[in-house]
């Protein structure tokens, strides 16, 4: 294999997920993951720094959802995701600094990560408009996040890729990531767990919405009966 090029084979990060493989292959083709022949330390460091920025933004987003929600269990689950995201941000920033210092901001990262940041910004703007979120409002935002799980899949792929290619990265760029392998494996598991948590949160909110609707129906029926009796 030529110096500076990365084999696609290690990017088969899930034996039972054609979607994950396709996304990973696409990233290589577009030179997103370590940029192929044109990659240098500055671009790699910037890319990892941007992953940290996205995770930090996600951490803030889920914290705000937790603070503005009403259901205790849902608030706890959202806070769990928030804490994981902040932990991942620190990990990616640490990896970036191991290569080279980077100061890219979210605007710069939009150019590197494409549409990955779009959903984060959209939901963050909606959260900022509210002091508190009703069950229905929170359900709508969670549905958006769950329906656009690209961020979780993207971060999961990056974590697995870095973990599986740490020796190759060290050979090509002289940067040792092996000591971070366990943390990267943990980040990948966290992202998978986030998708499960988001599904559980959505289902809990739907249950609560149904209870609220049933309660309104009962009140309406009671009122109708009362009016009929009075007549």
pLDDT, one tens digit per residue, over 103-121 is 888 888 887 777 777 888 8
The listed range with the strongest mean pLDDT (36-45, 66-75, 217-226) is 66-75
User: Nearest-CA neighbor of 158 among 16, 6, 9, 32?
Assistant: 32
pLDDT at res. 218: 62
In angstroms, the CA 24 to CA 26 distance is 5
Spatial separation of the C-alpha atoms in residues 89 and 157, rounded to whole Å: 15
Question: Does the pLDDT value for residue 130 go beyond 70?
Answer: yes
Query: Is 165's pLDDT higher than 60?
Result: yes
Choice between 84 and 222, residue whose per-residue pLDDT is larger: 84
Query: Which of 64-78, 106-120, 155-169 has the largest mean confidence?
Result: 64-78
Report residue 36 CA to chain centroid gap.
25
Element (H, E) at 91: helix 72-99
In this prediction, residue 221 carries a pLDDT of 58
The contacts of residue 162 (CB under 8 Å, 6+ apart) are 95, 169, 177, 180, 184
User: What pLDDT was estimated at residue 5?
Assistant: 40
Q: How far apart are CA 85 and CA 155, in angstroms?
A: 10
- Pick from 195, 125, 127, 124: nearest CA to 155: 195
For 9-23, the pLDDT digits (tens) are 333 333 333 333 333
Mean pLDDT of the chain: 78
pLDDT band at residue 27 under the 50/70/90 scheme: very low
Average pLDDT score over residue span 125-145 = 93
What would the pLDDT profile of 46-60 be if each residue is shown by its tens digit? 989 999 999 999 999
Does the pLDDT of residue 39 top 80, yes or no? no
End-to-end alpha-carbon separation of the chain, Å? 89
6 vs 53: CA distance, rounded Å: 25
Residue 157, pLDDT > 90, answer no
What is the structure's pLDDT at 206?
95
pLDDT reading at 33 higher than 50: no
Mean pLDDT of 27-36: 40
In this predicted structure, what is the pLDDT of residue 217? 67
Residue 226: burial class (beta carbons within 10 Å; 0-12, 13-18, 19+)? exposed
**Separation between Cα atoms, residue 76 and residue 200, nearest integer Å:** 12
Q: State residue 106's pLDDT score.
A: 84
Cα separation, 189 vs 193, in Å, equals 6
pLDDT (0 to 100) of residue 148: 67
């Amino acid at each position: 294999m030529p110096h500076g090029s990365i084999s696609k084979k290690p990017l088969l990060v899930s034996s039972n997920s054609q979607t994950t493989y396709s996304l990973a292959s696409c990233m290589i083709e577009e030179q997103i993951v370590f940029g192929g022949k044109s990659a240098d330390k500055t671009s790699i460091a910037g890319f990892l720094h941007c992953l940290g920025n996205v995770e930090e933004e996600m951490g803030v987003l889920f914290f705000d959802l937790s603070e503005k929600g009403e259901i205790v269990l849902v608030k706890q689950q959202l806070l769990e995701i928030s804490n994981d995201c902040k932990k991942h941000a620190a990990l990616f920033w640490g990896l970036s600094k191991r290569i080279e210092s980077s100061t890219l901001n979210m605007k710069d990262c939009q150019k590197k990560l494409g549409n990955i940041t779009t959903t984060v910004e959209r939901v963050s703007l909606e959260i900022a408009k509210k002091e508190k979120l009703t069950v229905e409002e929170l359900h709508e935002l969670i549905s958006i996040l769950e329906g656009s799980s690209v961020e979780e899949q993207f971060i999961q792929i990056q974590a697995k890729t870095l973990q599986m290619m740490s020796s190759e990265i060290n050979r090509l760029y002289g940067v040792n990531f092996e000591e971070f392998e366990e943390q990267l494996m943990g980040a990948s598991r966290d992202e998978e767990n986030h998708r499960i948590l988001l599904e559980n949160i959505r289902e809990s909110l739907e249950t609560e919405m149904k209870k609220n609707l049933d309660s309104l129906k009962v009140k309406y029926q009671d009122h109708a009966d009362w009016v009929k009796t009075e007549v």
